[in-house]
Amino acid sequence: MKALQLKRGKEKPIFRKHPWIFSGAFIKLDRSIDAGDWVEVLDSDDNFICVGHFTPGSIAVRVLSYEKLSDKEAFYFQKINAAFNYRQSLNLFDENTNIYRLVFGEGDALPGLIVDNYDGNLVIQCHSAGMQNDVHLIADALKKLPIGISTIYVKHEKEGEFLLGDTGMASALENGNQFLINWQSGQKTGFFIDQRENRKLLGEFSKDKNVLNVFSYTGGFSVYALKNGASKVVSVDLSADAIEMANKNAELNGVSTNHEGYAVDAFEYLKNEAINYDVVVLDPPAFAKRRNAIHNAVQGYKRLNALAMKKMKKGSILFTFSCSQNISRQLFNDTVRAAAIEAKRDIRIIKQLVQPEDHPINIYHPEGEYLKGLVLYID
């Protein structure tokens, strides 16, 4: 491995175990180091500190180990097996749930790597050049896990790649609910696993209720509401393909009679339609994927929530979310509060919602807490 040397004093954040080292921390960046290369990081006195993947950008090194490595294959298996054992110890999968996130980047000490499991169909996303370079080592490590793998699919921005099998879609179970997952053409890895516990909670509020699911994607919240006895559920999403899949998921679970799906713009729907529902879900995509988008994202969240709050009937319940890493929990809460002021409604917080256990937050990497949610009582 080539080495990068830190400026004096810049080793302190690394000793606090934050897994990112920014480019400004180094004396100089060696132009002969390619994106994704493994590098050693040295302090200003040439002492070894850590190894990681290099990226020519703001985050120059993503730390992988604080010990020198000689066997990368063994390293990946140790980390991936530890991630699997963590989930197994928490009973996150059983005969009723075979959908879960197997590897969550920094939360599992593998920054830049996502692996989702859909009943033995593993979908890999590489968010760094280093993980992309090492994807075959990662796949070899995954194959050693005792989980009966039938597919390994790498989801690229343009065209994906099968490293095992050739199946692009299958059904899988979450809390006894069955979902069709399309990892080839679907968003992210095909399903939003991070809302599992929040979907379960919504189900508890849904018996004999009319439910509106906005930004519904393939109908995760909708199916939970219907399976828990909702009188009527309406799914709204701009994507016609997503609505078609939501309809299929309702049929798959035997609850399509009380389901309606509309492929329309969410903001236009909230603006133009009567919102005469007992429960409303607002689960938009990330409005702030970069820090310079925070202001516009805040305005988007405020407008979205105000549109719903103004029209929701007295005594109804709102589930509202942000999955933007760059929007802090406090900022999200403040934005929803501003929407309530604009809507001139009295509102109580029933619950504050988070991401589930298979999306663990590394205590040294608070940026890993990206999913924020509120359950609100509209008075």
Burial class (CB in 10 A: 0-12, 13-18, 19+), 322: buried
Residue 347 lies in a domain: yes
| Residues identified as active-site | 323
pLDDT confidence tier of residue 254, bands split at 50, 70 and 90: very high
Chain segment 329-377, per-residue pLDDT in tens: 999 999 999 999 999 999 999 999 999 999 999 999 999 999 999 999 9
Same domain for 207 and 328, yes or no, is yes
> What are φ and ψ of residue 93, in 5° steps?
-140, 145
**In the prediction, which pLDDT does 293 show?**
82
Residue 47 lies in a domain: yes
On whether the pTM is more than 0.85, the answer is: yes
- Please indicate, yes or no, whether residues 61 and 104 belong to a single structural domain of this protein: no
Picking from 262, 284, 275, 264, the residue whose alpha carbon sits closest to that of residue 307 is 275
Q: Distance between CA 332 and CA 59 in Å, rounded?
A: 25
Q: What is the CATH number of the domain that holds 316?
A: 3.40.50.150
Q: What is the model's pLDDT at position 36?
A: 97
Q: Assess whether pLDDT exceeds 80 at residue 290.
A: no
Phi/psi for 357 (5° steps) reads -65, -25
What are the contacts of 163-169 at 24+ separation with CB within 8 A? Answer: 163/124, 163/135, 163/136, 163/139, 164/139, 165/121, 167/121
- Percent of the chain exceeding pLDDT 90 equals 95
- Residue 163 shares a structural domain with residue 279: no
pLDDT tens-digit map of 192-231 = 999 999 999 999 999 999 999 999 999 999 999 999 999 9
What confidence category does residue 17 fall into, taking pLDDT thresholds of 50, 70 and 90?
A: very high
Q: What is the H or E stretch that residue 73 is in?
A: helix 72-89
107 phi and psi, to 5 degrees?
-65, -25
For residue 291, what pLDDT band results from cuts at 50, 70 and 90?
Answer: confident
Which two structure tokens, joined as six digits, stand for 285?
Answer: 């995509």
Domain stops at, among 65, 93, 114: 65
Tokens of 210: 């009319």
**259 and 250 in contact (C-beta within 8 Å)?**
yes
pLDDT given at position 369: 96
Structural domain boundaries enclosing 329 = 192-378
pLDDT band at 287 (very low <50, low <70, confident <90, very high): confident
Q: What's the mean per-residue pLDDT of the chain?
A: 96
Query: Which strands sit side by side in the sheet containing 121-126, from one edge to the other?
Result: 99-104, 113-118, 121-126, 151-154, 161-164
Same domain, 332 and 370: yes
Q: How many residues would you count in the chain?
A: 379
Spatial separation of the C-alpha atoms in residues 42 and 26, rounded to whole Å: 9
Which domain CATH number covers 110?
3.30.750.80
Residue 228 to residue 248: CA distance in whole angstroms = 18
Residue 288 has pLDDT above 70, yes or no: no
Strand partners, 99: 118
Give the model's pLDDT for residue 279. Answer: 98
In a domain, 350, yes or no: yes
User: How many whole angstroms separate alpha carbon 343 and alpha carbon 323?
Assistant: 23
Mean pLDDT computed over 53-57: 95
- Under DSSP, the state recorded for 18 is -
Count CA atoms closer than 13 A to 185's CA, side-chain side: 8
- Among 121-125, 291-295, 326-330, which range has the highest average pLDDT? 121-125
Number of other CB atoms surrounding residue 201 within 10 Å: 19
pLDDT at residue 99, as a whole number: 98
pLDDT at 146: 96
Are 124 and 261 within one domain? no
Asked if the structure places residue 179 within a domain, the reply is no
Domain identity same for 157 and 198: no
Residue 95 CA to its chain's centroid (Å) = 23
The pLDDT of residue 353: 98
The predicted pLDDT at position 215 comes to: 98
Q: Judge whether residue 170 has pLDDT over 90.
A: yes
Q: What's the pLDDT band for 317 if we cut at 50, 70, 90?
A: very high
- Average pLDDT (265-271) is 97
**Total domain count for the chain?**
3
* Distance between CA atoms of residues 252 and 178, nearest Å: 7
Residue 196 has a CB neighbour count (10 Å cut-off) of: 25
| Whether residue 73 has pLDDT greater than 90 | yes
The answer to whether 200 and 224 have CB atoms below 8 angstroms apart is yes
Residue 123: closest CA among 82, 173, 165:
165
